[in-house]
Structure 1
Amino acid sequence: MRISKSLLTLWLIAPIAAVAVLSVWIVLSMRGEPWMNAPPVGAGAAQTGGANALGEWLAHRNEASQIRVVVEDRSEDSSGGLRLFLAHRANDWKGEPMTATTPGRWEWTGSSADLDEGFEVIRTGEDGVTLRDAEGRRRLHLTSGEQVVVVGRFVP
């Protein structure tokens, strides 16, 4: 009978003792140095969790602005009757018509944000055959102003 009372007492005290041990362990671990030893980043960074670094990163992002893409068609079949299109993600890679300025030179004006994920030059002839730039998708090198693209050949 005496043993069962002792076991019952231990059984009732065990959860309280476990919570006390965990509480002491948490308090002692909070007093120590943080486990992350990365150097602080950003103005006034101490224990900010990188919030200042995120603000600095956002401050350097490029805002969308107007850009003009000029395409020089130097392919061997740059005869009349063909049209060039500029395909990009904003138009689901379908192609927006480009304006012919001089023979063999086309231009498109739009937002640089539309071309963030690249663009592609597409040619459609009088026969309705669609050909794509042999170099495939190109990346935008500027965020504003004029970017000249030279197309050497088109492939089906």
Structure 2
Amino acid sequence: MSLAAISDRIGMVFLIEGQLKDWVASETGALSTVAAAGYTQELINRYRPDVVLTEQIAPSCQKAPATIGLIRAMARTAERNEVLDVVVPRVQRYANKYEEAAALAEIYPALAPRVPAKRKYYDHQPRSLVIFEALALAHSIRSEAA
């Protein structure tokens, strides 16, 4: 299971042996660090993963402090469970998140309908983008293992 947070959303992808089995995005789980911890616990209870991936917060991280708090709350919750909790550096391999989403959808075609169109600067980030961010973390681990 891989978890990600961007602004006002938490995203989760669940894979078994590299096969994408489920994904979800939540705004409610991102209301606070307490909500993020509770939502993470619900996901762990529901999916019973062996491994939970979260983003490593690097000193150069450009995410908002509130988003960093959500990520840390998810990581702490995973740490308290009987799962292997892995903190993964977020490596940007594409020019932007939209190109990354399109590339990941080629590998995981079930998510192709969820690839967001590039937004205008005044629009909010598309809801599905957080799912691709979670998938990017999981895929980076799979790529390193191969």
TM-score by length of 1: 0.24
Q: Which has the higher contact order (CA 8 A, sep 6+)?
A: 2
Q: Name the structure where helix makes up a greater proportion of residues.
A: 2
Q: Name the structure where strand makes up a greater proportion of residues.
A: 1
TM-score by length of 2: 0.25
